[in-house]
Amino acid sequence: MPKHELILLKNMMQPGYGGSLQDYERTGGYQALRKAVGKVPPTEVTMAVMKSGLRGRGGAGFPTGVKWGFLPKDYQGPRYLCCNADESEPGTFKDRQLMERDPHQLLEGIVLTCYAIGAESAYIYIRGELVLAAKILEQAIKDARAAGYIGANILGTGITANVWVHRGAGAYICGEETALLESLEGKRGLPRFKPPFPATNGLYNKPTVVNNVETLANIPHILGRGPEWFASIGSPPKSTGTRVFCVSGHVKSPGNYEMPMGITFRELIYEVAGGMRSDKPLKAFIPGGASAPFLTPDHLDVKLDFESVAAAGSMLGSGGVTVMEEGTPMVWAALRLMEFFYHESCGKCSPCREGSSWLVQTMRRIVAKRGQMEDLETLVDLCKNIEGRTVCAFGDASVAPIMGTLKYWRSEYVTLIQEAEAANLIRPEEIAVRH
Amino acid sequence: MLKEKYATEIEEIISRYPVRRSALIPLLYLAQRDEGFVSEAAMKEIAGLLRLTPPQVYETATFYTMINLKRVGKFHLQVCKSLMCALAGSDTVIEWVKTKLGIGPGETTSDGLFTLSAVECLAACGTAPMMQVNEDYYERLTEDTFDRILSDLKRDGTCPLKTGPFMWPEPVNAKS
């Protein structure tokens, strides 16, 4: 695997780097802000981000500059930036590190984005559990304000950008951008219908941009070193830059690894993360967080970029790669993820609210060796009636583990059911309920 | 009364937002910090502070898992049970709690010290198994570290094994 340059994790890999304002400035921090704010027109900043090809790192992969460009040009009222720091996708733990180890990198990205989109207020919506990250960010905001990088009249330019930390309270759905806005408004975190999109009707019904932590952390580097530099990294033209891949599960060295997009799963798992933790071979992996359907060893040479993973029938999503060794019971694995989605369904849409409950109950029966063959049809039927029938993408995500495992490991479901039938473990009262 | 005790803090929180209702979750946290959970009286008071109806406060408070509507132990052990942690043995951690403290998920020890919750993903998949105790993360748990955390918490109220700013894997130089 060729050597490559770290962008987002570079500072924190330096010995002695603590993430303070002085540390960050010493490594060239806030130079992009000094160069751009009040000097380069906001439209040019947006153009540069468009040219860089940067795509959202939260999961959906929408081009960042294009998203900014959707804000109405002639709207005179307030606009908002919301930094989506509600990282809750099982398998993903990169934003936490970006915030705790190098908070000013994120803050510089936030201020530059505020400048580009004309927002005077930014909220960092951080998941409530990350108390330490919230404290570190609050201190960093205080320091950056004292240094003139945040607040009214930034570096004497007359530009205003205020940043606040807003802690969520433990709801995965609030990572969905419209649910995040509802939650920030003090309500239940239920997703809104789209359209209208946040670009025109966002926070407090005002034009709003919602960007992920990793996305925003890239902005200072794009503006500091130029969009062409950024666009040359990774897997151009559509998957540019690096990603912080979170590797978890049965590998020797799990952790966060920043790699150019376009490396293969084989390289990431066997070279970067040290290979399998025991002598057992690889059985399955999840390529992009819990919402991404499972892949098999046959997909090891798929490249980690948006298009290649999609072509393999899954998605790059949040960049969380979870590895499972031979011997991992796949029906159990799918059930564990399903329990997550069942727990986290916000309840707004009936197919997701009711369907996830039925899915969990059916899966639990099968795992407990009390399933019947017809349960497999029921599972597919339920999945089909959830997918595409909900306000947000949560419904689609929640069926991914079951559909993925049914596709590649159907025999494991069948074996469990055959064992149930052989042992005659089905309780009469369950049959009565089902018929 | 929250208003008498935290007047300045409440004003500061409300001033962050152009719409008062946005201060709702921060104020619920404030109430929780004060009493250990959010009582009905606190919800009514917050409703008054934000010019909302009590049901508006209640409907928000009940949506979020981190808002405790009843008292929890002095140390709230939240063990992540999602797949990534389960692959690394989180079910065993829950068993340790059961055998060492005699409580299952949702239960509190009789001395009121520990409450166990089995929770979903806490963004620590690379350092599993893990648990959060009140505001602190403890990662890469083994039975030894788990025992030490429990005894330190009982004795000192805190434990030095808690995670600092997160970085995994650590840079090679930092280890030397």
DSSP secondary structure letters along B160-172: TTS--S--SSPPH
Instruction: Determine whether A163 is exposed, middle or buried from the number of CB atoms within 10 Å of its CB (0-12, 13-18, 19+).
Output: buried
Mean per-residue pLDDT for B11-17?
97
Q: What percent of chain B has pLDDT over 90?
A: 95
- Considering chain B, what is the average pLDDT of its residues? 95
CA distances from A168 to A48, A130, B79 (A): 32, 9, 19
Q: Which residues of B touch A101 (CB under 8 A)?
A: 165-167
pLDDT digits (tens, 9 = 90+) for B26-62: 999 999 999 999 999 999 999 999 999 999 999 999 9
Q: DSSP 3-state assignment of B108?
A: strand
Residue of A nearest to B124 (CA): A93
Distance CA A296, CA A301 (A): 11
Q: Which residue, among A48, B129, A331, has the nearest Cα to B137 in the 3D structure? A: B129
* Residue A278 touches partner B, C-beta closer than 8 Å: no
Q: Which of B16, B21, B128 sits opposite A185 (nearest CB)?
A: B21
Q: CA dihedral defined by A324, A327, A332, A333, rounded to 10 degrees?
A: 0
Residue B144 has pLDDT above 50, yes or no: yes
A424-434: per-residue pLDDT in tens?
Answer: 766 656 655 55
Among B108, B33, B25, B114, which Cα is nearest to B75's?
B114
User: Nearest residue on chain A to B80, judged by CA atoms?
Assistant: A90
Q: Are A382 and A358 in contact (CB under 8 A)?
A: yes
Residue A279: its pLDDT value, please?
Answer: 85
Mutant choice from B121, B137, B140 vs A, greatest count of A C-beta within 10 A = B121
Cβ contact, residue pair B173, A15, below 8 Å: yes
Query: CA–CA distance from B81 to each of A321, A328, A416, B122 (Å)?
Result: 18, 16, 23, 9
- With contacts defined as CB-CB under 8 Å, which chain B residues touch A256? 126, 167-169
Dist CA A240 CA A267 (whole Å): 18
Q: Which residue of B has its CA nearest to A11?
A: B171
- Between CA A167 and CA B135 the distance in angstroms is 13
The two three-digit tokens of residue B150, written as one number: 């429990």
CB contact under 8 A, A253 and B169: yes
Residue of B nearest to A252 (CA): B126
- Extract the residue ranges of chain A whose pLDDT is less than 50: 435
Residue B61's SS3 state is helix
Contact yes or no for B25 and A247 at CB 8 A: no
At B21, which amino acid appears?
R
Q: Tell me how crowded residue A415 is: count the other CB atoms within 10 A of its CB.
A: 13
CA proximity to A287, closest of A255, A260, A324 = A324
Please tell me the distance from the alpha carbon of residue A410 to that of residue A416, in angstroms, as a whole number: 10
pLDDT of residue B175: 46
Does residue A274 sit at the B interface (CB-CB below 8 Å)? no
- To the nearest whole Å, the CA of B65 is away from the closest chain A CA by 5
Using the Cα atoms of residue A32, residue A35, residue A36 and residue A41 in order, give the sign of their dihedral. negative
Top residue of B49, B59, B162, B166 to mutate, by most chain A CBs within 10 Å, is B166
Tokens 């959010």 sit on residue: B38
Interface membership of A413 toward B (CB under 8 Å): no
Using CA atoms, how far residue B148 sits from A272, B79, B151, in Å, is 33, 16, 5
> A250, A249, A289: which is closest to A398 by C-alpha?
A289
Chain A stretch 24-83, residues whose beta carbon is closer than 8 A to a beta carbon of chain B: 78
What tens digit of pLDDT does each residue of A25-83 get?
999 999 999 999 999 999 999 999 999 999 999 988 999 999 999 999 999 999 999 99
Task: Please tell me the pTM assigned to this model.
Answer: 0.96
Between CA A9 and CA A195 the distance in angstroms is: 36
Cβ-Cβ contacts under 8 Å, A142 against chain B: none
Q: Which of residues 345-364 of A touch B (CB under 8 A)?
A: 346
The alpha carbon dihedral of A178, A182, A188, A193 has a sign of negative
Closest residue, chain B, to A251 (C-alpha): B126
